[in-house]
Amino acid sequence: MGEITNVMEYQAIAKQKLPKMAYDYYNSGAEDEWTLKENREAFSRILFRPRILIDISKIDMTTTVLGFKISMPIMIAPTAMQKMAHPDGEYATARAASAAGTIMTLSSWATSSVEEVASTGPGIRFFQLYVYKNRKVVEQLVRRAERAGFKAIALTVDTPRLGRREADIKNRFVLPPFLTLKNFEGLDLGKMDQANDSGLASYVAGQIDRTLSWKDVKWLQSITTLPILVKGVITAEDARLAVHSGAAGIIVSNHGARQLDYVPATISALEEVVNATQGRIPVYLDGGVRRGTDVFKALALGAAGVFVGRPVVFALAAEGEAGVRNVLRMLRDEFELTMALSGCTSLAEINRSHVLTEGDRLRPKPRL
Ligand code: GLV
């Protein structure tokens, strides 16, 4: 393997190493995959307005997320079934996140349980939640996450049904028989049946609660004291509802472009959401973050931090824990360099004037 110099290079290695069904599952987006491409391309249309001749000999990238201090505004997004990528799966990701001093979000559909991930050692961890039809199952799971020391719930709100991922349909995707959705083992919900379709889409159709609505955000608050991040907001209307629902924060997410195709890139939707929240709750972003420059652009447009998904899974497939550590290190180094070359020494100094969006270019106005 030649030297890896950016996080995207792990993808080709993962493609070589993984069984087609597993690689396709991680890689694919919904339908035409327009949003999948757009999540990346929209970042490339945002340009910088760097400031010069500023002493950048000391750069502070630390920040606080829901009261927890972390080393940088780059966190790990929930991605399901990580043991399909590497035998160490979520353990490796948890250890790499802790070593980097940042937050890991564990998927409900992890192949390691909340208790197993907690047993890897100290670390700040969030738990991504899917709401099952059987609310007893949800209550139990949330309680277990609390007991295992998880610090927040990231409630996925964009998946009342699974998006149509055509590679998974063609492959008749199912979780390999030697793995289980570990959080649901013992509840008879840890396995996925073969279907004449994507096995995951059928699992979701059978188990996930399609009636989920804003009142359930309140319900969730009645069963846990953990702060709730609403993950999957991409409009101002829903951002306002999230604030009113008592959410502790919003994750602007289109589920890695795996749900509704032809929604905008998350980086394009970010500013609308940020403006709608009027600073009342923090707004985070995932989707297409592959470079330190992307992290900077998100922060300049008002995000309080970003989450990274696929690069973690691909690096895990390529090199296990070392790969995930390397992803976090490369993104950190790139982000630090972007701050330096933009003339910012702390996150508080990164602001709207440091970027030029397409919208700005269409509506030129002097900014002095
Ligand atoms: C899991 O959350 C998936 O989108 O496949």
19-28 pLDDT per residue, tens: 999 999 999 9
Residue-level pLDDT at 67: 98
Tell me if 111 is assigned to a ligand binding site. no
Cα of 309 vs centre of ligand 1, distance in Å, is 11
Residue 246 φ then ψ, to 5°: 90, 15
Helix (H) or strand (E) holding 292: helix 292-300
Question: Mean pLDDT over residues 8-12, rounded?
Answer: 98
**Distance from Cα 34 to the centre of ligand 1, integer Å:** 17
With a cut of 90, say whether residue 350 has pLDDT above it. Answer: yes
User: Rounded to whole angstroms, how far apart are CA atoms 358 and 349?
Assistant: 22
Ligand-binding annotation for 78, yes or no, is yes
Query: What residue has token string 């319900």?
Result: 219
Phi, psi of 259 (to 5 degrees): -110, -100
Residue-level pLDDT at 85? 98
Do 225 and 248 touch, CB atoms closer than 8 A?
no
Among the atoms of ligand 1, which is closest to the Cα of residue 130?
2
Q: Rounded CA gap, 6 and 4, in Å? A: 6
Q: How close is the Cα of 123 to the center of ligand 1, in Å?
A: 24
Q: Of all protein residues, whose CA lies closest to atom 5 belonging to ligand 1?
A: 80
| Residue to mutate, 25, 79, 208, 253, ligand 1, most ligand atoms under 8 Å from C-beta | 79
Phi (first) and psi of residue 208, to 5 degrees: -85, 145
Handedness of CA 251, 58, 312, 29 (dihedral sign): positive
86 is in an annotated binding site: no
pTM of the model: 0.97
Task: Compute the distance from residue 286 Cα to the ligand 1 centre, in Å.
Answer: 14
In whole angstroms, what is the distance from residue 326 CA to residue 5 CA? 10
pLDDT exceeds cutoff 90 at 118 = yes
Confidence of residue 187 (pLDDT cuts 50, 70, 90): confident
- What is the b/e burial string over 52-63, where b = at least 16 CB atoms within 10 angstroms of the residue's CB? eeeebeeeebeb
Is the pLDDT score of 108 beyond 90? yes
DSSP-assigned letters across all residues of 325-355: HHHHHHHHHHHHHHHHHHT-SBGGG--GGGE
Query: Which residue in 332, 288, 246, 304 sits closest to 72, CA to CA?
Result: 332
Q: Tell me: pLDDT of 367 over 80.
A: no
Region 264-275: mean pLDDT is 98
Ligand 1 contacts (CB < 6 A) are 80, 109, 255, 258
The pair of structure tokens assigned to 268 is 């394009």
- Residue 264's pLDDT band (cuts 50, 70, 90): very high
Residue 86 annotated to the active site: no
Long-range contacts of 239-244 (CB under 8 A, 24+ apart): 239/272, 239/273, 239/276, 239/277, 239/283, 240/276, 240/277, 241/214, 242/217, 242/277, 242/281, 243/276, 243/277, 243/280, 243/281
Task: Report d(CA 231, CA 276) in Å as an integer.
Answer: 16
Residue whose pair of structure tokens reads 């979780």 in the numeric block: 175
Q: Which two tokens stand for residue 222?
A: 């009645």
Residue 68, classified by CB atoms within 10 Å of its CB into exposed (0-12), middle (13-18) or buried (19+), is middle
**The tokens of 319 are what?**
């090199």
**Which residue's CA is the nearest one to ligand 1's atom 2?**
80
